[in-house]
Homo-oligomer: A and B are copies of this chain.
């Protein structure tokens, strides 16, 4: 089985830097010099050049720097300078920071349970600060984990108001996860969380895009069923794919059996995608993603 991205919690002195800029010789040297000059030791480095002869350069660095929190602004100042010279965007994170996550659900709890488990086990370095649902069913699950639960019913008539209410309730959250939330969110909602809104689709996209993909998979007689975690964008039916996985089925599997098997794939795929996102390992690249796993 595929289980990636589980690491010991990083100490307080650990930092991460993700940068993006047009690819030119010397960029690695400049950035690594900057870190060396402040006394940081680079402990991990992954990079991607979209086109070796001149495209976009993406780099993710992990480093150790004593008193990182205190010296953060110094580093930020230097990065701002470089950003202008190299047309660079960047993100600097203290690895000990635990981003906040709001989880939207409907009635099924398998993905929510998995996220809760992984947070508690220390495998997902984040805080789930709110569970929002259009149904009351999963309130006990959230409460057992000590997470505030918000029941926000949605009808075609109240959809806009419901979204506004939900936004208010979750507040300024770092990441929103649609964990089998059986509602289509509006383009406006999406645009509030650019590259910070993750959905799990219960099929191996782009196969079976529509509703009831397990029924469609059953009818087509496929031998593998899958799930896809992706960012949600206002424009696309399903945005940049972060992670996919499959499980084998055979002729004995009913639609309901596929649904049951699929739940284990869904929880694995979404938990993996959220973990990678939280560790700054996913960079959106147009309609695709770069994943420094």
A binding-site residues for B, Cβ under 8 Å: 1-4, 6-8, 23-26, 28-29, 32-33, 35-36, 39-49, 52-53, 64, 110, 113, 117, 121-123, 144, 204-208, 219-224, 226, 240-248, 250-252, 254, 256-257, 260-261, 263-265, 268, 285, 287-291, 293
Contact = CB atoms under 8 A, between A and B. Distances in A.
A52 B41 contact: yes
Contacts of A24: 41
B248 A8 contact: no
A256 B241 CA distance: 20
A35 to B, nearest CB: 7
A92 B264 CA distance: 31
Contacts of A219: 287
A49 B291 CA distance: 21
Contacts of A291: 223, 250-251
B260 A244 contact: no
Given A32-B28, A45-B28, A264-B1, A224 B208 contact: no
A196 to B, nearest CB: 18
A11 to B, nearest CB: 9
A23 B246 CA distance: 32
A55 to B, nearest CB: 10
A92 to B, nearest CB: 17
Q: How many copies does the complex hold?
A: 4
Nearest to A252: B48
A214 to B, nearest CB: 13
Given A1-B268, A3-B265, A224-B245, A206 B208 contact: yes
Contacts of A260: 6-8, 121-123
A172 to B, nearest CB: 29
Contact of A26 (B36, B223, B257, B265): B36
A287 B221 contact: yes
Given A222-B241, A241-B220, A291-B250, A261 B3 contact: yes
B47 A23 contact: no
27 contacts: A1-B268, A3-B247, A3-B261, A3-B265, A8-B257, A8-B260, A24-B41, A25-B35, A25-B40, A25-B41, A28-B32, A29-B32, A29-B36, A33-B33, A41-B49, A42-B47, A43-B49, A44-B49, A110-B117, A121-B260, A204-B207, A205-B207, A206-B220, A222-B241, A223-B242, A223-B243, A251-B290
A86 to B, nearest CB: 13
B244 A222 contact: yes
Contact of A265 (B1, B39, B205): B1
A99 B117 CA distance: 27
A71 to B, nearest CB: 14
A206 to B, nearest CB: 5
